[in-house]
Amino acid sequence: MKKYAVAVVGATGAVGHELINGLAKRNFPLKELRLLASSRSQGKIISFRGEDLVVDTCTADSFGGIDIVLFAGGSQSKQFALDAVKAGAVVIDNSSAFRMDPKVPLIVPEVNPEDIRWHKGLIANPNCSTIQMVVALKPLHDEARIKRIIVSTYQAVSGAGKEGMAALEQEVKEYAASGKDPKFLTPSAFPYPIAFNCIPQIDSFLEDGYTKEEMKMVNETRKMFHDDTIAINATTVRVPVFRSHAESITVETEKPLSPERAKELLSAAPGVVLQDAPANQEYPMPLFSAGTDEVYVGRIRKDISSANGLSLWVVADQIRKGAATNAIQIAELLINQ
């Protein structure tokens, strides 16, 4: 089997950590793993397959001899992704910088693997909340064509990085130690305390009242489904959960689709785990999906307000399938091509 030289940019962050672990777990065929980050992380040691690897500062000259570069996201993508392409590598980028570029494929392997054929050295990884939604909806779309999507997300604090997780932990400790009214806890990563709270804002607001996060779900879904006519409305909310995003989704389909048929489709869908036995209190929950690579779907039921409507509940670890695992799956798809 051919082996590949791979670089991880942003190796010391949460997504970078999962990229490194995922390459080991999935036994990716490596001949070299190069770990890169900002100058603040220069010299840090990360263990990989029993070997200690030194993190180097990422520069425009860091990509010689590299076949695939996995960018964990952030500002370094805009700064260095095109340098990596010029050096002859294929870039798989977790940031939002190139997702809506019509010349850059945006890929979830379970959804639109065919789009990898037209990459020109740069492939975008979708937004975390979009990934889990489209994995769950693709088999339904193929069966009955989705005309409309209404989605509300319940997004974990780890979606805001290490700072988000630290904020929730610190606020809970502050509350436990002081017993003060939660509204007076000291916020850090978010505009308000996140402990015991829900914040209906992820990313900045646009002029029409929607946030950038909400519009990512709209635009990215249409791009990957190759259908700009799908009506999509999203509301994204930060909740006091450490890891794994949850989503309440209602779809309207062109053709009738029963809950029973939807369960059949989802039980056979790649990357999906069906957890739908409400009589036994079995349904997906963030607490139990954390640390896994699958998209969990349950609470599938008829939308009683629509003739061809269906509602479902979707949960996935947004650092794994919503970022790192999906990027590695794109790399696997790439080498299998």
Q: How far is CA 66 from CA 34, 35, 117, in A?
A: 8, 11, 20
A 10 A CB-CB count for 218 gives: 18
From the candidates 17, 119, 141, 245, which is the catalytic residue?
A: 245
226 classed as catalytic: no
Strand-pairing partners, residue 200, are none
DSSP secondary structure code for residue 204 in this structure: P
DSSP 100-167: T-TTS-B--TTT-GGGGGG-SSEEEPPPHHHHHHHHHHHHHHHHH-EEEEEEEEEE-GGGG-HHHHHH
Phi and psi for 237 in degrees, rounded to 5?
-130, 135
CB atoms within 10 A of CB 251: 26
Rg (CA), the chain: 20
Q: Is 245 a catalytic residue?
A: yes
The sheet with strand 90-93 has its strands ordered as: 56-57, 30-37, 4-9, 68-71, 90-93, 122-124
- Catalytic residue, chosen from 17, 58, 128, 141, is 128
Structure tokens at 91: 């870039």
Task: Report how far residue 207's alpha carbon sits from residue 226's, in angstroms, rounded to the nearest whole number.
Answer: 26
DSSP secondary structure letter of residue 198:
-
85, 109, 110: which is closest to 101 by C-alpha?
A: 85
Task: Answer yes or no: are the C-beta atoms of 42 and 60 closer than 8 Å.
Answer: no
| Residues forming the active site | 128, 245
